[in-house]
Every structure is written in structure tokens, then in C-alpha cells.
Amino acid sequence: MASVVEREASLQGPKDEFIIWSQVDYVDEAHVVKMAIFMKAMDMVSRVKQRTFLSHNIVNIPKDSMFPQNMKLQDEHCNAFIEHILRRRKLHPYLVKAILTTLLKILRAEPNMNDIRVPPHSRCTVVGDTHGQLSDVVYILKKQGPPSSVNLYVWNGDFVDRGPFGVEVFLIVACLKICKPNYVYLNRGNHESAKYNIAYGFFEEVRSKFEGEAGVFDLFQSCFNQLPLACRLNKDVLIVHGGLSRNPLTKIGHIRRINRNMEVPNEPYTEEEQIMQDLLWSDPCLEKGVYRNPRGVGCLFGPDMTSKFLKTNQLKTIVRSHECIEDGYMICHNDTVYTVFSASNYCGDAGNCGAFLVFSGGDGKELVWNARPLEIHTYMAPLVRVALIAEEKQKEEGKVGRGDLSEQLSILKKKLIDYVIRFHEPLEYQFTHADIESTGMVSVETWGDIMESVLHCKLPWDKIRRILIPNSQNTDQTVDYWTFLNTYSVHFEDQHGFIGNIIDRIKERVLVGCENVMSGFAKFDEDGDGSISPAEFYHVLHVHCPDLHVSKEQVDQIIRAIDKDGDGFVQFNEFSSAFAGGVGSKISTIVDNVSSSELIPVEEVASHWESRLKKQLLRMFYRQKSCLVHAFRALDESDSGLLSIKDFCRAIKALLDVERSVKIHDDTVSQLAKDMASYRDDATINYREFLSKFQVLIEEKKEGELVVRKT
């Protein structure tokens, strides 16, 4: 069922480009929802949840601070704080803690839904998603002026994630709230939630800005969990981040009774949790009724749902945010639902306007309060200097581009490639099922339909086909789906590439004349006791490959890579799996190997299913990378970057439990750790190094030659 944005996707015209962007974002969101399940599993095995949030004690503010010691902020303090940020001065952790602990106290005292009075001769500005975009917040405050009894503000959630200044944006609105608690209101967005912050960047932002400062992220989360869910203007206008509950019987009273102090529920167990999720996640749609939301959470609610809700609760208008709209705002459901989105040029590449709404209390005479915004202001916020510097830096790192179409297309292509890899298994399944005669081909139309149904997004697939499939032509009738799928793969970079190299050399020089692996083994096992000692290994290498100058330490490393049972010696089965299988490919050895009695010809390559499993695992690690980062970090309490093998395996096992597409025995997981993560002498694994080994590989065949590009 189509949401409003999706509906427009079928239209042709200049909006195409923009719609592609919002659609592609949806795919991402649905994916994060699935990842959250894993994160929950991970929290259970790690001790992270038992670590209580900071005891929110009074923070001592030094005398020379820009803030008063009692934290009773005035306009000038807020201005000084913003100025401080714009001058790129460091945010001291004590300042951050002081702001957040003060805010927390205020938020705790507020109900789930604040009733706000907009009296005559005053106005109320409603701001939508800001997502860490400092330029937009600065622009809005400059335009609308400081909050006061006649200049109210509602900030409608999604302050953090995606943009680089989530910390700053949230702290600025927090200062405004502390300064004028009765004239500034903050609503919670779906992004004010720990699991999404881990997946979408705020966690990383806090970590990089307050490295070594324990508890800053947790303190942000304590505040997020206390943010009210909605507010009401003059009893007429409901302002909420996402939308309405799927249950048509939901009343304001139900919203008031929710115990909101928790993460935004991902898999709601109670009606209360379902309402909370819907308020923060739902979107309006044009058809009557309630439908599944393509985001994977919340619902789509039709105009009939809106009118019913308004009637039951004696409301006139709903204001919500949550959707990136090209014009910054949208009015639907018979002019009763206003969407406002305030992050202009979202993520630095969406090209949308930002907007805010202004409600007026009237002038006491002709102009009266009428439950509709008096002004809708749209803008493209000029980048503030700090943001400019950040954007340039990002550009240099090749993360975000801005401007011409070809640059935008290449970003889009990158995102789509990412999805082709993530959804490889379901795509493969659908293609092979559609291809009844196993020709390896499907029609162009079927290809588009399958892409659309697996990725859950409506895009001009025929145009995209020509971007995604190398050498495809307008006139093509069919798509070679194996070539398409195999164009994009995940590459695991073996940092100890020399091991693969040496194994190749051994094959070349030592084993070349051998009849089979057994006679090769015998060459190494000089004393014939059935296992190769490090000394024997070293000796053989020294004799046959003197030019390699392999050190004793390197020999130990090679042995560690092939010594499956960890006894420090190489037995025949270990030897045969290292030298008979895929050359230099350590991961291929994780699969149960040939039994030692079988003699395998030297040249035999890894079996088909073995290499398939390898590829599948690599894709899984790749797509769950941010979950793995979270899991590893949760287990690494001292933030050393190192994990014991046991903890490392624990994280991988939790991931495998969630990702049911790959079935592997527990022992194999331990073996995997050993093979892939090359542990150090103290039997710990450097997981940062491990994670850095995953890269996307694009293979494009151009006029017969193979071009391998890493992204």
C-alpha cells in the first residue's frame, strides 16, 4: 500500500530524482529494524544493560564557565553557547553533563503530552526533523528569535543521527528548554532511541567527540527516554513526530497513560507500546484504512483514520514530521494533517527545502486563533562555517557529494550496490524461482519486479538497470542475473596476505612434483612422526624457498593459520585443508574439511558449496557490520579494541542466531574466529582490525579485461 511519497513515485517528472532518494532511505530503515533484533540479543549476552546509567549527580561547574553554577540559564547564556559552538570551541564534558542532567530533571516532571497555550499576541513555531544539521537550527533561531512568553517553540523530534552535529543540535535545544521551560517544548522522534543511534551514527558521533568520557551517550539516552511523546496547542492541534495509532479507538487518555521511559519499542508487547511506536513511526497515506508501513514499524493511516481520531478527541489539526518532503512541508487528509521537515538538503544531498510552521494566537481583534498555521516558511539554510568545514572534510573523505547530477548518481549507485549485497540471498532466491528453465536469465520486467518486491521500494527500475548492470543496453529484453549478482561481492582483505602468498609458493616449489598431498606432507614431516613441528616447517622453507627469508616468527604465524586444533603442530588433515583447498583463502577452511584418510589431488579447488558459504558469510558480516561493532564494543568494557576469543565468538554466535540464513555449528564459529581474526600472542582478537578487512568489490568486465575496483 502506498504512502503519500510512494504514491507520487508512479508520476513522471522532475520529482523523480527526489523520490528515488526518499525511497532508497526507506530500504535502509527497514534494514535497521531487523538489526535492532540482533542488538537486543546482544544486550542479553553482554553486560551492557546491567551497567546503570550515570548516577545523575549535580555536576560542578567551574567559576569561569560560560554557564552560571546554578544552571539557571538566561538568553545570553544560550547565545554564548551557540557562539561557542560556531567558533568550533571544544565542548567540555562537564558542560554537556550539566546541561543534560538539568534537562533530565525538567523532562521527568513533564507529562507524555504537554498542553500548550498560545495566547493572543503570541506565536508558536513548530520545527520538524533537524537530524544533526546545525545550519538549519541556527537559521531557524536567527529567523524566529529567542523563545519568550510571546515566541513559543515546539521541536518535533529527530534531533540526532545522520547529520554531523547531533550533539550540538540537541544541546542547543536543551539549553533553550532549560532557559524557558514554559515556552519551549521538545517532542521525541523515532531517532531518539539508543538502537537507532548505534545504527545511524549518533553513537559514533558521541564517541568521537567525548572519547574516554564514560556515560555521555547514556546520559543522552536518559534524556531521550524522558522526552514527551506529543503536545497539544490550545486543545486543537496535536503535534507528534510520526502519526496516529493503528487502533481507531485510541484516545488522548491512552497516550497520557503510557510509561514512556524506555527505548522506542521495536517489537511492542503491549497495546501501550504499540501506541508509542505508532506515534513516533507512522505516516499518513492517501487510501482509507490502516496499512503496513514499508519502514517495517509504525503504520500507514488513511484520511478516515485521521477524521475519526480528530472527532473522538475533539481536535482540529495534526502536525507531524518524520518524512523528508521535497518542499519541506506537505498538507494532506483534507487539510487536517501537516507534515513539517526542517533539515534542508537532508544529508547534504537530498536537495529538499526545510520548513517550519508558525501558529498565531491572533491579535485579539480580527485575527483569531484558528488551529491552522498562519505561515509556512520554507528555506534552504545557508551552511554555517562549522558545517561548511565538516562538509568539506566529508567530501574529501568521499562520503558525501553535493551538486551535479553525475555526482548524485554515483552516490545513488553506491547505496543501491550496498542493497544488492545485503539482499543477495532473497534476490538470488527470487531470480532462480522465476527462471523456471534455469537459463540464468529473466526478462527485464521480471528483474524490475523482483528488485521492487525484495527491496520494498518503487523505483524507475528500468533506468536503474542501466546504472547497475555493466554493459546493459536500452534494447535488452533479458537480464543475466548471475552476472548481475556476482558483479557485487564482499571482499575480506587478509592482512596477513603473506600467508596466502607463502602457501602459493609452497605449492609451486615444494609440492609441485608430489603425486598427492600425502607425499607433500611427508616432505615436511622429516622425522615421520605424523606431524610437522615448527622447526621442520622452518627447515623446509629455508631449503626450498631461501629467497623468501621467512623468519621463525613468521613460521609460527603460518602454523597458527593452519593449525586447527591449536596444538602448535601441523597434522595431516590440517596440512591437506591448507594446501588442497582454495589457495590462500583462510576462510574456506572453516567448513568441515575432507577427512584425513582421503587423498586429494593437489590442484583441486574448493568445492562449489564451500565457496558459496564463504561468500554468504562475508555478506552477512558486511551487512551486519554496525551490529558487530556494537556487539564487540559492548563486550569490550575497557574500550581496548581487543576481545578474548570467547567473547568474540559470543558476538558472532548471537549474530548467527538472528541471521537464520546461515547455519553453522558452534565449533565452526570458534574455528572461524581463529581463521579470520588472526589473534595475537595473548590470545586476544583485535576486532577493529577484523572489521576493517571488509570491503565491497565491484567486478566489471570491460572488453574482455577484468577491472577490480574497491569502494
d(CA 627, CA 354): 31
State the nearest-atom distance from the C-beta of 252 to Mn ion, in Å: 22
Indicate the residue whose CB is closest to Mn ion: 322
State the nearest-atom distance from the C-beta of 379 to Mn ion, in Å: 20
8 Å CB contact between 136 and 130? yes
Q: Toward Mn ion, which CB reaches closer, 322 or 623? A: 322
Catalytic position from the list 31, 131, 191, 456: 191
Q: All 3 cell numbers of residue 321?
A: 514530521
Q: At what angle do helices 552-562 and 572-580 cross, to 10 degrees?
A: 90
Number of residues that bind Mn ion (CB under 5 A): 4
**322 near Mn ion (CB under 5 A):** yes
Residues 576-605 that bind Mn ion (CB under 5 A): none
8 Å CB contact between 389 and 334? no
State the nearest-atom distance from the C-beta of 190 to Mn ion, in Å: 5
State the nearest-atom distance from the C-beta of 395 to Mn ion, in Å: 26
Q: What is the DSSP letter of 257?
A: H
Q: Toward Mn ion, which CB reaches closer, 164 or 242? A: 242
Binding segment for Mn ion among 119-127, 314-322, 615-623, 664-672 (CB under 5 A)? 314-322
Binding segment for Mn ion among 320-328, 537-545, 563-571, 662-670 (CB under 5 A)? 320-328
**342 near Mn ion (CB under 5 A):** no
Binding segment for Mn ion among 96-104, 300-308, 318-326, 643-651 (CB under 5 A)? 318-326
Please confirm, yes or no, whether 191 is among the known catalytic residues: yes
Q: CA distances (Å), 217 to each of 53, 404, 667, in order?
A: 9, 37, 36
State the nearest-atom distance from the C-beta of 28 to Mn ion, in Å: 12
**130 near Mn ion (CB under 5 A):** no
Q: Toward Mn ion, which CB reaches closer, 342 or 624? A: 342
Residues 176-195 that bind Mn ion (CB under 5 A): 189-190
Any residues with CB less than 8 A from the CB of 481 and at least 6 apart, and which?
Answer: 427, 428, 431, 435, 440, 441, 442, 447
State the nearest-atom distance from the C-beta of 319 to Mn ion, in Å: 14
Binding segment for Mn ion among 86-94, 106-114, 226-234, 319-327 (CB under 5 A)? 319-327
Q: Toward Mn ion, which CB reaches closer, 59 or 169? A: 169
Any residues with CB less than 8 A from the CB of 668 and at least 6 apart, and which?
Answer: 590, 591, 592
State the nearest-atom distance from the C-beta of 5 to Mn ion, in Å: 13
Q: Toward Mn ion, which CB reaches closer, 343 or 617? A: 343
d(CA 529, CA 535): 13
8 Å CB contact between 286 and 248? no
Query: DSSP string of 141-198?
Result: HHHH-S-BTTEEEEE-S--SSSSTTHHHHHHHHHHHHHH-TTTEEE---TTSSHHHHH
Q: Toward Mn ion, which CB reaches closer, 279 or 457? A: 279
Q: Toward Mn ion, which CB reaches closer, 185 or 572? A: 185
Beta strand spans in 289-384 (E)? 290-292, 299-301, 317-320, 329-332, 337-340, 354-360, 375-379
Any residues with CB less than 8 A from the CB of 58 and at least 6 apart, and which?
Answer: 101
Residues 144-163 that bind Mn ion (CB under 5 A): 158
8 Å CB contact between 355 and 328? yes
8 Å CB contact between 490 and 57? no
8 Å CB contact between 440 and 481? yes
Catalytic residue list: 191
Contacts with Mn ion, residue ranges (CB under 5 A): 158, 189-190, 322
